[in-house]
Amino acid sequence: MPSKLEELKSIQQELAKKVKLCPLKRKPRLVAGADVSYVISSQESIGVFVVYDLKEKKMVAKAFARLKTTFPYIPGFLSFREVPVLKEAFKGLSVMPDVLLVDGQGILHPRGLGLASHLGLELKLPTIGVAKKPLVGEFEIPPQEPGSFTPIYLNGEVKGVCLRTRKGVKPVYVSPGHLITLEEALEVVKASLSGYRIPEPLRQAHIFSQRLRHECGDNSSRRDRK
């Protein structure tokens, strides 16, 4: 596995060179949340997308796919585990989203290619990483006021923000994935909040993926690490 990981690191480094951080062509209205859950008994991954209309404040489309889980959980290499099933799930969407929110990192990654960046390259769509835990970087915890944030530095550059989405709960870690700027990524995430820690498109995607997992007969409280 060590030699394989070195090969995958090289792939990440090459793909990271293709990531573009640029302004959106228009203000997004349809924001999709992507999530993956795991059926332990059958060793399957369930990838889902939920498209949320920011103006109407409701879901307008959803899709899912199931594939055999073929890559183990290894910090820093999540995209090799989850991109295949998410790409398959994306094919089932009846509505094309303007932006994707991903449960993982964007460029805030040791080699600049977190799950959101990798998926953005594959789908050729603007993506944003919204992670529950930091992977790399230096930052200060923001004040308790919802909407407050602090910059996250990596190698002396701002690569993301630590965002307080709700008072009294842990912050989230936002970074651009592909085809969007950090400022826009922060704006989209804030616009997607609905009183919970996690942006509504991602929250709904997680609920959907967990429901599908239970329907597959996996009632375990254990969930593979993200």
CA distance 111 to 185: 20
Q: Is residue 6 part of a domain?
A: no
Q: Is residue 120 part of a domain?
A: yes
Q: What is the CATH number of the domain that holds 166?
A: 3.30.2170.10
The number of residues in the chain equals 226
Least confident of 25-29, 38-42, 214-218: 214-218
Is-contact 44 58, C-beta < 8 A?
no
Over residues 209-223, the pLDDT tens digits come to 999 999 987 765 444
Over residues 131-148, the pLDDT tens digits come to 999 999 999 999 999 999
CA distance 113 to 133: 16
Is-contact 49 205, C-beta < 8 A?
yes
176: which 2 tokens? 């651009």
CA distance 86 to 146: 30
Which residues constitute the domain of residue 43?
29-215
pLDDT mean over 73-88 = 97
Q: Is residue 118 part of a domain?
A: yes
Q: Is residue 187 part of a domain?
A: yes
The residue with tokens 């919802």 is 146
Strand partners, 150: 162
Transcribe the chain into DSSP letters.
-HHHHHHHHHHHHHHHTT------SS---EEEEEEEEEETTTTEEEEEEEEEETTTTEEEEEEEEEEE--S---TT-HHHHHHHHHHHHHTT-SS--SEEEESS-SS-STTS--HHHHHHHHHTS-EEEEESS--S-B--PPPSSTT-EEEEEETTEEEEEEE--STTS--EEEEEEESS-HHHHHHHHHHT--SSSS-HHHHHHHHHHHHHHHHTT---S-----
Q: Is residue 221 part of a domain?
A: no
Q: What is the mean pLDDT of the chain?
A: 95
CA distance 32 to 177: 14
pLDDT-derived band at 3 (thresholds 50, 70, 90) equals confident
Q: Is residue 154 part of a domain?
A: yes
Q: Is residue 177 part of a domain?
A: yes
pLDDT given at position 217: 74
pLDDT given at position 206: 97
Q: Report the number of distinct structural domains present in the chain.
A: 1
Q: Is residue 222 part of a domain?
A: no
Q: Judging by DSSP bridges, how do beta strands 30-39 and 99-102 pair with one another? A: parallel
Q: Alpha-carbon torsion 26, 30, 31, 32, what sign?
A: negative
